[in-house]
Each structure stands twice: as C-alpha cells, then as structure tokens.
Amino acid sequence: MSVVETRVVARDEAEIRLDRWFKRHFPTLGHGALSKLLRTGQVRVDGGRAKASQRLEEGQAIRVPPLNLVELDDAKPAAPTVQRRRADDETIERLRAAVLYMDDEILAINKPAGLAVQGGTGTTQHVDGALDGLRFEAKERPRLVHRLDKDTSGVLLLARGYAAARRLTEAFRAKSAMKVYWALVVGEPKPSAGTVDLPIAKLPGRMGERMMVDRDAGKRAVSRYVTLDRIGHRVAWMALFPVTGRTHQLRLHMAELGTPILGDGKYGGADAIVQGEGVSRKLHLHARAIRVPDADGVPVSIIAPLVDPMARSFAFFGLDADVGADPYAPFED
C-alpha cells in the first residue's frame, strides 16, 4: 500500500483490539512497526491518536499510512502481501456484471456464492481485492460496510466514499437498515414462523470461525423467520430477518431450531444434506434484499435475483421465487 487509506470498522470487528485489527488486515506488519506508527501518530482512529490495546467500535475510521514506506524506514524489504492483493481480471469483470444498483453514494452487487468478501490464509480472490475495479469513475475506491460469508450469495453493499461509508455504517448500527435473507432448510420449522433469541459466542480453540450458543457469556442474537413454502416435510423455503448481526447468526439459529440450512455442514452436519442428483451440497443462504436510507432519509431497496446453487435448487424443487416478490412483507409489523 503506497497511499494513505481510511478503513471503516465493520460490524463483526467491533470490540477487537486495534493491534489485532491490524494483524487481521495486514498480517506481515510487525508489532514493532505498528508501535512506531502509533507512537508517531501516523495511525489514527476517528482522527485521534490511538493505542494498540484500544477496543474498536463499529463505524470508526482507521487511518492507515503507506505501509511499504514504513517497512523501508525499518530497513526491511517490502513484503508483497502487505499490499492489497488485486483480484484477477475475470473476478473483477464478474463483479462488474453483478452490479444491482449504483448511485453517487451506494454500489450494490449480487455477490456470487463461493467468493470471499475479504482475504485470508489461502484466499487469493475476494471482493476486497476487486475494489479498484469497481470505482466506475468515482474519485475514491468503494468501501465495504458489511460482510457476507464466503458461501452466502446476494446483496453486498459498498459505499462509494468515506462520507457514505460512515453514514451507511451508522444506519446498520442504528438498525435503520433492513436485511432479508432467503434460505432452504432441511425439515420443517415448528412453529412455521417465529423468533429465535439465543446468545452467541465464538467457540474457543483453533476451529476457525465457528460460533456456539452461550447463555452465560454470549452476545444477544435475535432472528425472525417465516416459512414461505415447503416440499412435504423434507425441505422448507424460509425468509429470515436478522434483527442483530452476529457472525453466522442465521446459520446457528436455524440449526438450533432443528432445521439446519441446506448444505451447512458446519452447523448441521450430516442433517444438513439432502440426497438427490439435482440438490447441491453447498450452502443455500442468499441475501435477498437490503433497504437503507439515502442521504435524504429516503429508503433505497435493492433486491438480488437468485444465483446458483439456490437458483438450481429452486428449479429442482419446483419453487416459485415470485411468491416472495416483496421480501420485506413477512416482517412488516
């Protein structure tokens, strides 16, 4: 990275330490180099000086200086992985073709299942690496303001500048943004509509990103659900509304109901698999719609058409997506 960059703390990054945030985003930046940046005021949080131990809040702006220059100052060779890894041309073109909506502030794409939003160990292609290719003549690179799991498809919102990122992040924090997901689950939820209110915590140990219900130390997690259709007692088509935004919340809550999301082996195990030549074993979770206020407070609604594997499974089971033409209707009180 050769220019000063401002990044906004995502919802799932709230409450982590600043030094751990840097470790996540810039894994080759050593503790000594980060300490120097903090000591000299080159790294700032919301414009102010910060400490490595500072706990971050969703929506805060982190100033990241040119890290390749920092490494030169420390007399160490520049590590290529410090720079944002650019996605390949095929991935960028795929995302440009998946644009659902764009105005001066907002860019929304229909993220394909299987494409990560951000990089990690062994992940070379991701949305974060394609952001320069999604400028569309804007002065600033678009910014991520929320996240979807790698295997979840659907609406992913990007802010087309710093001011828009702050406003949209605040909309998510204040719950003035509404997200609705569609899922195919194995079994039939009883009751057919309701609310799951179970606290969630990260599972200890080295098992990757995995959550569990923890009534003592977990953070409150609330999900509303409505059954839109069913194929006997075998599979149900669900509309899901995450009132809170915890990691893997919908996946864990559906599993706790005894109806894991189809293809979700992480939380449903063998019970999440349906045998059949036309049924994919991949995760069947799709961010169907998102509604956010624009700069004037007028709601902007964006709906993502189904993509594989959801689209193929809908065809296989004979489900009609037009039944859910208004994705917000099941949750409008």
Residues marked as catalytic: 149
Sheet with 44-45: strands ordered across? 5-8, 61-64, 44-45, 48-49
Q: Are 71 and 33 in contact (CB under 8 A)?
A: yes
* Helices 31-39, 18-25: crossing angle, 10 deg rounding: 120
How many CA atoms lie within 13 Å of 83's alpha carbon, on the beta-carbon side?
13
Candidates 270, 261, 246, 268; CA nearest to 310 is 261
Q: Report helix, strand or coil for 133.
A: helix
Long-range contacts of 192-196 (CB under 8 A, 24+ apart): 192/226, 192/227, 193/225, 193/226, 193/227, 193/330, 194/224, 194/225, 195/222, 195/223, 195/224, 195/225, 195/243, 196/221, 196/222, 196/223, 196/224, 196/225, 196/253, 196/256, 196/257
Tally of helices (H runs) and strands (E runs) in the chain: 8, 16
The gap from C-alpha 30 to its chain's centroid, in whole angstroms, comes to: 27
Separation of alpha carbons 226 and 110, rounded Å = 23
Q: Are 95 and 134 in contact (CB under 8 A)?
A: yes
Residue at 177: amino acid letter: A
Helices (H), 174-245: none
Cα–Cα distance, 261 to 237 (Å, whole number) = 10
Both tokens of 244, joined, read 């809170």
